[in-house]
Amino acid sequence: MFDSLTERLGEVFTRLTKRGALSEGDVAEALREVRVALLEADVALPVVKDFVKEVQARAVGADVLKSVTPGQMVIKVVHDHLIEMLGGETEELNLRATPPVALLVVGLQGSGKTTSVAKIGLRLTSIEKKKVLLASLDVHRPAAQEQLRVLGEQAEINTLPVIDGQVPVDIAKRAMEAGKLGGYDVVILDTAGRLHIDEALMTEVAAVRDAVQPAEVLLVADALTGQDAVNVAKSFKERVGVTGIMLTRIDGDARGGAALSMRQVTGCPIKLLGTGEKLDALEAFHPDRIASRILGMGDVVSLVEKAAETIDKEDAEKLEAKFLKGQFDLDDLAAQLRQMRRMGGLEGLMAMLPGVGKAKRQMAGANIDERSLLRQEAIISSMTLKERRSVKILNGSRRRRIAAGAGVEIQDVNRLLKQYRQMAGMMKKVGKLSRKGRKQLSQQDLKNLIPPQGGIPR
């Protein structure tokens, strides 16, 4: 969806990074082009203005212009602000309530509500193993309830049996009652759409909301409608208290304005994306990944690498030498874990190995679980210096002591050690390869290189 924006920004930044030193004037010029690119992508004017102003303020700072790679640093500032503009953190559907949890889905006619209800239901049942009931409150369009029943059947999810003549509030109450009796975790309520925001629609939705007290009021908005989608969201937010947004038709050729302005204008997080007509065409909305997608992931990764190098160039070089010699010990791993936590990404580690850029991008999907990283650091810090240098001496009783010291199970210690060994072995192999050889590493090889993040679930 962001193709043309990506292309435009790519041109601007390529020019910027080609230069050695940058003046304030160079940055201002680049940002003028960024501004035009965003406006052409249909991003709301106030959002663009704020964005450019903030980036400008940050980017002309001394640490950016005087850095070794000012162009890269400017891109990094843009990247960081894009993430912020998109909402910062990933926000998931809120299902934290006593089951059955009500999820109310609202939106204009044809925005994709009914399809999205089935998609979400499918996601919750198949991935999160929830027991889900779908109910259509759409009594305005003939066959609307039947449409949901058919979709429910396709997704193998139960739908509330239809009783003719019931009004939406009563159907909603009946759905919650059925949810309670049937031991359902989640009840998803599909509502009727209207051609445009009208009083009757809002009143109806508000009445349903009051009757079922949903944990989440999810607005479904069509990304193809651009700024109209944003205005619709604003009205719904004001009238019925939307708590999250799902943007549909991301697979269409929308310019991206809706996605980019939505958060800033409405204050409401985008939580999900609809990426096609099929029921599995649903994605979580990750601001950092979207920002990376917009800027072209490769650039971002390389700039983060550069940033990491500037922060700790010496450390990085020392570490790289150790990697390549296969002398990577647990202290180094602990340092990496810390750095990964700081940088919030896998890049910290991968950046040490020149030539794996593309593969890195493919792995960008790997999420870092902060708590798991902390736990792994705790295990390593419960070891003596000698143990960290030489894992071989870690016998059963030492492992028990370490586990107790870190407040984890002995299996957790074992898992960390196993993954450390795999990593160290892999790094030694990678070290022996030429730069070209590193580019040809297989996916599986790279998976083995992933630090033991998520290795200790709990």
Ligand X SMILES: Nc1nc2c(ncn2[C@@H]2O[C@H](COP(=O)(O)OP(=O)(O)OP(=O)(O)O)[C@@H](O)[C@H]2O)c(=O)[nH]1
Task: Report the interface residues with ligand X, using CB under 6 A.
Answer: 107, 109-115, 138, 141, 144, 193, 248-249, 251-252, 274-277, 281
Residue closest to Mg ion when measured from CB atoms: 114
Binding at 277: pick from ligand X, Mg ion, none (beta carbon under 5-8 Å per type): ligand X
CA 46 – CA 37 distance, rounded (Å) = 14
276 binds, among ligand X, Mg ion, none (CB under 5 to 8 A by kind): ligand X
Question: Residue 150 Cβ, how far from ligand X at the closest point, in Å?
Answer: 11
- Kindly tell me which of 168 and 348 has the beta carbon lying closer to ligand X: 168
Q: Which is nearer to ligand X, 126 or 381 (CB)?
A: 126
Query: Which tokens sit at 255?
Result: 């310019």
Nearest approach, Cβ of residue 116 and Mg ion (Å): 9
217 is written with which tokens? Answer: 């009021």
The Cα diameter of the chain in Å comes to 76
The distance of closest approach from Cβ of residue 396 to ligand X in the complex, given in angstroms and rounded to an integer, is 54
If the CB atoms of residues 218 and 379 are measured against ligand X, the closer one turns out to be: 218
Q: Got the DSSP string for 33-59? A: HHHHHHHHTT--HHHHHHHHHHHHHHH
Task: Select 74 or 139, whichever has its Cβ closest to Mg ion.
Answer: 139
90 or 109, CB closer to ligand X? 109
Min separation Cβ 112 and Mg ion, Å: 8
Min CB(252)–ligand X separation in Å: 6
Smallest distance, Å, CB 53 to ligand X?
Answer: 33
> Side chain identity at 272, as an amino acid letter?
L
Min CB(222)–Mg ion separation in Å = 13
Q: How far apart are CA 278 and CA 74, in angstroms?
A: 39
Nearest to 135 by CA among 154, 114, 156: 114
Look at residue 452 and give the partner it binds from ligand X, Mg ion, none, a contact being a CB closer than 5 to 8 Å depending on partner kind.
none
* 336 neighbors 348 (Cβ within 8 angstroms): yes
Structure letter (DSSP) for residue 401? H
One DSSP character per residue, 143-191 reads THHHHHHHHHHHHT-EEPPP-TT--HHHHHHHHHHHHHHTT-SEEEEE-
Joined together, the tokens standing for residue 152 give 């429910």
Q: Which does 111 bind (CB under 5 to 8 A by kind): Mg ion, ligand X, none?
A: ligand X
Whichever of 222 and 377 has its CB closer to ligand X, that residue is 222
ω into 452 cis (within 30 of 0): no
Least distance to ligand X from the beta carbon of 190, Å? 7
Name which of 55 and 232 has its Cβ closer to ligand X.
Answer: 232
β-sheet with 216-222: strand ranges across: 158-159, 132-136, 186-190, 101-106, 216-222, 244-248, 270-274, 282-284
Residues, the chain, total?
Answer: 458
In the complex, the residues that contact Mg ion under the rule CB under 5 A are 113-114
Q: Minimal distance in Å, beta carbon 91 to Mg ion?
A: 24
Binding site partner of 61, from Mg ion, ligand X, none, Cβ cut-off 5-8 A by kind:
none
Residue 31, classified by CB atoms within 10 Å of its CB into exposed (0-12), middle (13-18) or buried (19+), is: buried
Q: How do strand 282-284 and strand 101-106 relate by DSSP bridges?
A: unpaired
Q: Which residue is nearest to ligand X (CB)?
A: 193
Determine how many CB atoms are found less than 10 A away from the CB of residue 372: 18
Q: Does residue 328 contact residue 427 with C-beta atoms inside 8 Å?
A: yes
Q: Which is nearer to ligand X, 99 or 276 (CB)?
A: 276
Which C-beta is closer to ligand X: that of 111 or that of 266? Answer: 111
